[in-house]
Amino acid sequence: MKTLKRSIFIKSLLLILVVAFLGGCKKDSDGGSGGDMGSGKGTFTIKGNPYSGMCQSVPATSGVSGNIDVIIASQSGASFTIYNMPTSSSGSSNVSNFDTDNAGFTDKLYAISIVNQSASFYSLSGSVTKTGVKSYKFSVTMMDQTTNGQTTATGSGNY
């Protein structure tokens, strides 16, 4: 399992690099001025610390056709990634326990957060609620891999 967790950590870092390479957020046809569509911003709080930054979707790294991964990446380097985000415009989905559900590289919905080089978190449970075609909010119980303690991550984004 440690090898899988290490692989997910590396996968998350690569996803951050892909988002950085893309150079920012997609805009909708009217230049990004319309509501949920294409505003490309997100916020999250983990261990009581707030982060905000660009929000971007990419095709799912799991390879499951039609799934997307969504990342909020702050300029400080902190990120929150939801893997296998539902593409519906509404509804709530349960988040898998990354550790016991063997969620990595599958079609299960799970989350990984990297706050700095020594702090990474993975999902235990929670929910993601779609509030529009490209907008969502979440509340996820996360495991701190450094301390083996639990914490709650909350946030929202538009991609």
Report pLDDT digits (tens) over 60-98: 887 677 789 999 999 998 999 999 998 889 999 999 999
Which of these, 62, 61, 30, 19, lies nearest to 159 by C-alpha position? Answer: 19
Cα angle vertex 34, ends 31, 37, to 5°? 90
User: Residue 105 pLDDT more than 90?
Assistant: no
| pLDDT value of residue 36 | 38
For 8, 33, 99, 124, 144, the CA distances from 148, given in Å and listed in that order, are 17, 42, 12, 12, 5
Express each pLDDT in 24-65 by its tens digit. Answer: 444 443 333 333 334 599 999 999 999 999 999 998 887 677
Which of residues 121 and 117 earns the better pLDDT score? 121
Q: Judging by beta carbons within 10 Å of its beta carbon (0-12, 13-18, 19+), is residue 66 exposed, middle or buried? A: exposed
| pLDDT value of residue 25 | 42
User: Residue 145 pLDDT more than 70?
Assistant: yes
* pLDDT above 70: percentage of residues in the chain: 75
| pLDDT value of residue 39 | 59
SS3 assignment, position 36: coil
- Quote the tokens at residue 75: 């300029």
pTM of the model: 0.78
